[in-house]
Amino acid sequence: MAKPVIGISTYLEDAAQWREWRLPAALLPVGYHQLVQRAGGLAVLLPPDPAPDAARQAVARIDGLVIAGGPDVDPARYGAAPHPETGPPARARDAWELALLGAASEAGLPLLGICRGMQLLNVAHGGTLLQHLPEAVGHGGHGGPPGTFARHRVTPVPGTHTARVLPAPLSVPTYHHQAVDRIGTGLTASAHATDGTVEALEFTAPGPFALAVQWHPEAADDTRLMRALVTAAAGREAPAGS
């Protein structure tokens, strides 16, 4: 049986360096594609594409979608002025990933959002973000020093799909300074940190597999979330006309 094809959105950087080269690059930490592979899927990268119909065409060729972590979502997307701690906007990536989310929703494509991916899913459904979480919770425990994951405990909400995939509290790798504030229409919080921060979202109404988490499963050994996505992707019916 062919492996389900899992598309992963990527960074788009003005300058990346490897060996003697320093060039613009579409890139992604290896943990993402390796997690897909360990979970039984075939990983493909989906760099930003400005073509009007590109997201719909990409979604038609994959079996599941991962919206990866990355830079802060542009506050203009949820009607807010930028906080002094909010990073520079990645407008091309915002536009591309929002288009992917819209196309995935229309196609009933299984979806997993990771960190920024969860925040963007919330914004796509009319929600808002806390732009600097340490001000709200009074500590910096959701991220380590620059480039270093912290760890904290997450508790899934009983009765949710998230809790069926992850039935017990768990320690997760985390690196973020923003978080969900007002939850978007049709979404519900399905896991929390001990300080109350929303750590997972899912849709309120039953539908195709769609989960989003604030932590970074690609930085850990636990494959359960990605296996759930790959399993859903493997059982998805082919789109009409494909």
Sign of CA dihedral 230, 232, 237, 242: negative
CA 82/CA 68 separation, integer angstroms: 22
CA 60/CA 44 separation, integer angstroms: 13
CA 191/CA 113 separation, integer angstroms: 14
The reply to whether 115 belongs to the active site is yes
- The residue from 115, 161, 176, 177 that is catalytic is 115
In DSSP terms, which residues pair with 212 in a beta bridge? 113, 201
The reply to whether 152 belongs to the active site is no
CA 145/CA 222 separation, integer angstroms: 23
Nearest Cα neighbor of 56 from 112, 5, 98, 25 is 98
The reply to whether 216 belongs to the active site is yes
Q: Determine contact, residues 210/110, Cβ cutoff 8 Å.
A: yes
Residues catalogued as catalytic: 115, 216, 218
